[in-house]
Structure 1
Amino acid sequence: MYNPQPEIQAGRVPGKAPTERDVLADERIGNEQIRELLRSFGLRTSLIRLKVIDALHAADRNGRSIGVRGVHAQLEQLDIPLSFLSVREVLKRLCSEGVIQLGSDKCYSLDPQARAVLERTPVR
């Protein structure tokens, strides 16, 4: 039987335009894909790694790379309480493991191999 009620997405009010936060959340990739990425590089999963990689992937899809301040600001915008130092240390570790790359402009971007893992279609 057809249900005429509008489908309500988590945290959204029907009939209201989506906020910037809603749009950012919709662009995010699934945690399972990031977990697969971390496993493929031999790293354990942590909340901060999930969030940092997610922020870098969102920037990558928009054709840009971002620095430590940009990643931290993006996480703050999503109300994710991580310190600047924690974000910086995670970026350094991901860089040393080859998951991300540091450009000459001090901005980070996903390694092509990492990008390929994240862009695989998830199996359901």
Structure 2
Amino acid sequence: MYNSPMPTDGKPAPQGVSLGQEVTVFGKPVERHSNERIRQLLKSFGLRTSLIRLKVIDALLSAAQNDHPLGVRGVHNHLLELDIPLSFLSVREVLKRLCSEGVIVLKPDKSYSLHPQAAAVLQRLD
């Protein structure tokens, strides 16, 4: 079925969101650049991008910036605070998979952090 364009009253039709503009969702700025970096990181390790992987890695990066180590429960709670309803088991399985692929490491205190090689990839992407 054909959808005719809406009339524009002589103004050019918007062509999408410009990357130079700040996009807001529910009054909060969306960090598009951060997700793109994480997408490239996953791609460099040969992994597909998924919402849960993006969110888990983003939680670990946020925790590292605040010098606050996160374990499985901490990552799960962080995601729940962001209204991302994922089960504890799903978060644990994603963390295990990211560990097995070398993206993150499990420290002796049972907290997770980026593997030094993954951190180097992110540095190159900046």
Scaled by the length of structure 2, what TM-score is found?
A: 0.73
CA offset at residue 53 of structure 1?
Answer: 0.5
CA offset at residue 29 of structure 1?
Answer: 5.8
Larger Rg: 2
Aligned to 1:89: 93
Cα distance change on mapping 1:27 and 1:116 into 2, 3 Å: farther
Aligned to 1:33: 37
Give, in whole Å, the separation in 2 of the partners of 1:112 and 1:86.
24
Give, in whole Å, the separation in 2 of the partners of 1:10 and 1:45.
21
Gaps of at least 5 residues in structure 2 are 1-21
Which residue of the other structure, out of 112, 116, 119, is the alignment partner of 2:116?
Answer: 112
CA offset at residue 28 of structure 1?
Answer: 8.7
Aligned to 1:3: none
Give, in whole Å, the separation in 2 of the partners of 1:71 and 1:60.
12
Give, in whole Å, the separation in 1 of the partners of 2:32 and 2:71.
19
Give, in whole Å, the separation in 1 of the partners of 2:61 and 2:33.
8
- The one-character-per-residue Cα deviations of 1:53-107 (angstroms, maximum 9, x if unpaired) are 0001111111232100000000000000110000000000000111000011111
CA offset at residue 11 of structure 1?
Answer: 2.5
CA offset at residue 117 of structure 1?
Answer: 2.3
Between the two proteins, the alignment pairs up a number of residues equal to 104
Give, in whole Å, the separation in 1 of the partners of 2:23 and 2:114.
33
Aligned to 1:70: 74
Runs of 4+ in 1 over 3 A off after TM superposition: 7-10, 25-29
| Residue identity (%) | 67
Contact 1:37–1:118 (8 Å) recurs in 2: yes
Gaps of at least 5 residues in structure 1 are 1-6, 13-21
What is the Cα-based RMSD across aligned positions, in Å? 2.3
Cα distance change on mapping 1:77 and 1:29 into 2, 3 Å: farther
